[in-house]
């Protein structure tokens, strides 16, 4: 039986691939929703800091976040280097949001959140 | 009452900030776990493709993923441009993983997953 036959190894591989992709799509939907919710919180943080003149940055907070995420990554089998890169990727977007808050008249927005 | 007083506006702002940060930390833990799970699926995809000599890339699949994530982002209030950037950020890591699978003797790994 060649790999191209119905029910052959390639067909089974393609069926397994479709299964994996369905899971990946579900996970991606969850990731998008969680990211949307995370940015709702950081937007509130930006407004709070701007309104109450709280310090714009908090290096201790960011260090704690990185250390915690790296530890959580190791626990769940994710590369901790990637987890750190991921947090920095998100924080870059938060900075952009907080700059928008600042530009809209408030100051003191924070990137760490 | 000055902003520094116990129970003053700054104190209340700091309490609200701590609340927001607790939510952000919970969301980050969920994100790390979901990312770990997503990479388990893409690792399986990489091995499947390498073992069964399936085409390494699938541009149609990637276009569908981007279109779908952008639509989900709009629904949940996330910037669709960011959602697309996020997917590309993840795919870059998947490429790295699949290159490792290839280097370990298999070929035909895919970045799209």
Which residues, in sequence order, are CB contacts of B106 under 8 Å at separation 6+? B47, B50, B51
Q: What is this structure's pTM? A: 0.85
Q: Tell me how far apart the alpha carbons of residues A45 and A65 are, in angstroms, rounded to a whole number.
A: 15
Q: Are residues B46 and B113 in contact, defined by beta-carbon separation less than 8 angstroms? A: yes
- The model's pLDDT over B48-97, given as tens digits with 9 standing for 90+, comes to 988 988 877 788 999 999 999 999 999 999 999 999 999 999 998 998 88
The answer to the question of residue A66 being in a domain is yes
3-state percent breakdown (helix, strand, coil) of chain A, nearest 5:
75, 0, 25
The domain containing residue A70 runs over which residues?
Answer: 9-103
- In-domain check, residue A43: yes
Report if residue A45 sits inside a domain: yes
- What CATH number does the domain containing A45 carry? 1.20.59.10
CB contact under 8 A, A76 and B33: yes
Q: What is the ipTM of this complex?
A: 0.85
Chosen from B3, B14, B15, B24 to mutate, greatest number of chain A CBs within 10 A:
B24
Rounded Cα–Cα distance for residues A13 and A64 (Å): 43
| Pair of tokens at residue A52 | 């109450």
Chain A hits for B9, CB-CB cut-off 8 Å, are 52
**Per residue in A52-111, pLDDT tens?**
888 777 889 999 999 999 999 999 999 999 999 999 999 989 988 887 887 775 544 445
Closest CA to B31 of A78, A58, A23: A78
Flag whether A92 is in a domain.
yes
Per the structure, the count of domains in chain B is: 1
Is residue A4 domain-resident?
no
Residue A111 maps to a domain: no
């Amino acid at each position: 039986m060649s790999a191209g036959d119905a029910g052959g190894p390639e067909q089974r591989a393609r069926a397994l691939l479709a299964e994996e992709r369905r899971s990946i799509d579900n996970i991606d939907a969850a990731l998008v929703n969680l990211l949307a919710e995370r940015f709702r919180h950081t937007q509130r943080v930006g407004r709070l800091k701007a309104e109450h003149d709280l310090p714009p940055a908090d290096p201790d907070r960011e260090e704690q976040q990185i250390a915690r995420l790296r530890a959580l990554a190791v626990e769940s089998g994710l590369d901790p280097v990637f987890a750190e890169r991921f947090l920095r990727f998100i924080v870059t977007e938060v900075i952009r949001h907080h700059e928008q808050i600042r530009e809209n008249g408030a100051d003191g927005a924070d990137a760490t959140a």
